[in-house]
Amino acid sequence: MSGEPPASQRHFIALRLDAVAGHRAAAVDVPEGARRVPEEDLHVTLAFLGTLDARGEASARAAMAEAAQNLPAPRVRLDQLEFWREAIVLCAEPAASPDAAGLLAARLNDALARREVRVQALPFRAHVTIARLRRREALPPRPLRSPVVWVPDELVLLASRAGAAAVPRYHAVHRMAFAGAMPRMSPLLR
């Protein structure tokens, strides 16, 4: 085995929604015909890395540890839905800029750059993709009836599964707990 990922596998570093926040976000009303993102795949992307080999994954893990060092987990609040016309997706977003998540994303991007890991050069915009729409519709932003609020307990290096269906499916390559976070419990122990 060469240690090379499948060409179609894409890596990114994210904050996954916990079970309660994921369930609430997955329950948001979406237009008819939209393809919902599976509840277990809901996340906020902090850095999109593209395809990584084993060395790139090791560098990403080191950057995650550096970026989150002595930094508490950010509190994330999603309170509005917005349609992203170019991507044809419906996203839950914060109405106000999330300073803590933005700081974490900036620290992460700096740590990745020091390790020469290329990152997609887009400004950070906290959001969770809720659904993919079939066509570009004119949907005005609207507030969520009930905001989705959570404090993630870990940073996760995720990769898309090769051969995934129309809605991407992701698996964790590496997990790193925030300082002071409780370890994740098995769903059977909750």
Domain containing residue 35: 11-176
Q: Which of 45-49, 64-68, 114-118, 183-187 comes out lowest in average pLDDT?
A: 183-187
Residue 149 lies in a domain: yes
Read off the CATH number of the domain in which 164 is found.
3.90.1140.10
Number of domains in the chain: 1
Question: Which pair of structure tokens corresponds to residue 28?
Answer: 């948001």
Mean pLDDT for the stretch of residues 181-187: 49
Residue 26 lies in a domain: yes
Residue 183 lies in a domain: no
Q: Is residue 181 classed exposed, middle or buried when 0-12, 13-18 and 19+ CB atoms within 10 A define those classes?
A: middle
pTM: 0.86
Residue 2 lies in a domain: no
Residue 123 lies in a domain: yes
